[in-house]
Amino acid sequence: NREWHLLSRPVGWPKPEDFALVETEVRTPGEGQVLVRNKYLSVDPYMRGRMSAAKSYTDPFELGKVMQGGAVGEVVESGAEGIAVGDHVLHFGGWREYATIDAKHAVKVDPEAAPLSAYLGVLGMTGLTAYAGLLRTAALKEGDTVFVSGAAGAVGSQVGQIARLKGASRVIGSAGSDDKVKLLVEEYGFDAAFNYKSGPVSEQLRAAAPDGIDVYFDNVGGEHLEAAIGSLNQGGRIVVCGMISVYNNTEAAPGPRNLARLIQTRGRIEGFLVGDHFDLQPQFVQEIGPWIRSGELKHRETVVEGIENNLEAFFGVLRGDNTGKMIVKL
């Protein structure tokens, strides 16, 4: 079994020296446990937070130990009732080829119902993030103008499309390349999109949303957040889902300088954590499934092959190499 360990806590952008791919023995599952051969691993921006020592909503990764992450694999040995050899499970023992895990932390998934990697993305954690963040936390209403950053990524691409399908009057996205911008408009049905690297976000947003925005789904923070506050309409809602533009900062980024606009607009900014919304999972799958089948909701994956490239895939997410969910296939 090969698995990725965190050796030192990255300062600023993580470097390959902060990690090591380590050979270990596979542990035989005890009672109530299963041994899983991982097939798909998830790499996600939030993992950068767990590489730092600061305590957050989850504990930091431990130094010298294997990291965790979402994974889907096939059970090859089982000491647990209700899970048989050959079953596929979603679990949290990622960053490794084989995982011995408590069955209570594994969820059976059906490889016939959807491709296995979908349980990490469009039907999984990132999909639920988009669904719950937009519909519950932002309380999307028909006729809203919605702006989402990181719009070609796993969460953002689903936010924009769900907004469209739920009756938003105008959907605007930002992303980091012209190809991604084209994809948003031509394939995902965004009404407008712009490349945030091509000019000031506030100007590009004003041009794309001349009548302002009612909802901003923030995946990025920084300049994007300030621009969104600047374009916010009366009663506007901002959901802070992620702030990837600051995850590798060594000093705190300056705050939005225009917060006073919230007084005039009675605007609301609210933090969001997907873990608080797992109750919506069945409803989410029920609603999203038909949209995927009918082609009304599209998604992409960027697939990197091999456990040895797991780390590089993670770096790729931070750099923006991915379109849609970044997946590692073993």
CB of 77 to ligand NDP, least distance (A): 31
Query: Residues with Cβ < 8 Å from 99, sequence gap 6 or more?
Result: 35, 36, 38, 71, 73, 91, 93
Contact 154, 126 (CB under 8 A): yes
Question: Among candidates 43, 73, 48, 66, which has minimal Cα distance to 58?
Answer: 48
In the DSSP assignment, the letter for residue 87 is -
Q: How far apart are CA 319 and CA 244, in angstroms?
A: 10
Complex with ligand NDP: residue 29 or 133, whichever CB lies closer: 133
CB of 253 to ligand NDP, least distance (A): 10
Complex with ligand NDP: residue 76 or 292, whichever CB lies closer: 292
Q: How far is CA 168 from CA 156, 164, 254, in A?
A: 15, 5, 31
Complex with ligand NDP: residue 69 or 153, whichever CB lies closer: 153
Complex with ligand NDP: residue 98 or 217, whichever CB lies closer: 217
CB of 89 to ligand NDP, least distance (A): 21
Amino acid residing at 296: E
Contact 311, 26 (CB under 8 A): no
CB of 203 to ligand NDP, least distance (A): 16
Q: Which residues of this chain interact with ligand NDP, rule CB under 6 A?
A: 44-46, 126, 129, 150, 152-156, 175-177, 180, 196, 219-220, 241-242, 244-245, 272-274, 317-318, 320, 322
CB of 224 to ligand NDP, least distance (A): 7
Complex with ligand NDP: residue 4 or 272, whichever CB lies closer: 272
Complex with ligand NDP: residue 118 or 274, whichever CB lies closer: 274
CB of 28 to ligand NDP, least distance (A): 34
Amino acid residing at 141: K
Q: In sequence order, what are the beta bridge partners of 237?
A: 215, 268
